[in-house]
Amino acid sequence: MLNDKIALVTGATRGIGRAIALELGRQGATVIGTATTQDGADRISGFLAEAEIKGKGVVLNVTDVAQTDAALADLAKEFGAITILVNNAGITRDNLTMRMGDDEWDAVIDTNLKAVFRLSRGVMRGMMKARKGRIVNISSTAGIRMTFFGSLDYTVSKHGVAGLNQHLAWELADSNITVNTVCPGGVQTPLMESATTPEYREMTVKRLVPLGRFTKIEEIGEMVSFLA
Ligand code: NDP
């Protein structure tokens, strides 16, 4: 059970992040879920309350340095040390490499990699003082190998998370902080739908997934909860 734990889940408005927030809450954690808009934060507060989970939604664009620092300071005051960080927020900006704009590259690296560094750094001190902590990153099979054409930025960002994980796991182990990364294959979420065609999804499931189906968001929630 995660009763005395304070969990911060980035990108909890929908998809995988929402499922993770709900599962950590079911296991007893107080859950803070982030959204890029006030409407999203209110929706998170709503579904947490409906499930009788302690916590709330907050506005946090993980690419915004000042907002990140301010949000972490506010949360520390209100809830105490964050002892579970789930770096879930992620985006795609797919394009063939020769057409990929710097803006696409920067957006993906900032959201999927740089923010993981910044948030991990931001919660580390509190975890060290508490002598306990769990950092769980949501990467992708694209963080292990190349998955599909047009996703150089995404593949590089997720491979970066693998390196960050390796480094931090060693650096923080003595403080009783574990760092793990979950690498899902296909999960049917709005991100997956916006990045692929129905034909591609059908082909992927048939040819690459032994179970013949996408992973369910709840299954990712359970895996993250185990690691936490
Ligand atoms: P969705 O598009 O369904 O949800 C993305 C979430 O990230 C939303 O809550 C969104 O918030 C948030 N987000 C996006 N940009 C920012 C930002 N700048 N700051 C803060 N939050 C932000 O994505 P998924 O649930 O599919 O993906 C979640 C994670 O899982 C990602 O890291 C993705 O790479 C990974 N993944 C997904 C797979 C899949 O098949 N779906 C497979 C493998 C990995 P808002 O609603 O406010 O925009």
pLDDT tens by residue, 26-62: 999 999 999 999 999 999 999 999 999 999 999 999 9
Taking only the tens place, the pLDDT of each residue in 101-138 is: 999 999 999 999 999 999 999 999 999 999 999 999 99
Task: Classify residue 184 by its DSSP letter.
Answer: -
Residue 189 beta carbon below 6 angstroms from any ligand 1 atom = yes
CA-closest residue to ligand 1 atom 33: 90
Q: Taking the alpha carbons of 25, 47, 183, 177 in that order, is the dihedral positive or negative?
A: negative
Mark whether 154 is an active-site residue.
yes
pTM: 0.97
Report whether pLDDT(146) > 80.
no
| Residue 107, token pair as written in the block | 């957006």
Report whether pLDDT(3) > 80.
yes
Compute the distance between CA of residue 192 and CA of residue 187 in angstroms, rounded to an integer: 7
- How many angstroms separate the alpha carbon of residue 203 from the centre of ligand 1? 23
Report whether pLDDT(193) > 90.
no
pLDDT at position 112: 98
Best of 16, 18, 183 for a ligand 1 pocket test (most atoms within 8 Å of beta carbon): 16
Ligand 1 atom at minimum distance from 62 CA = 19
Compute the distance between CA of residue 150 and CA of residue 143 in angstroms, rounded to an integer: 15
Residue 13 beta carbon below 6 angstroms from any ligand 1 atom = yes
Best of 59, 189, 196 for a ligand 1 pocket test (most atoms within 8 Å of beta carbon): 189
Report whether pLDDT(147) > 80.
no
| Residue 84, token pair as written in the block | 């579970």
- How many angstroms separate the alpha carbon of residue 107 from the centre of ligand 1? 13
Q: Taking the alpha carbons of 214, 218, 219, 221 in that order, is the dihedral positive or negative?
A: positive
Q: What percent of the chain has a predicted confidence (pLDDT) above 70?
A: 100
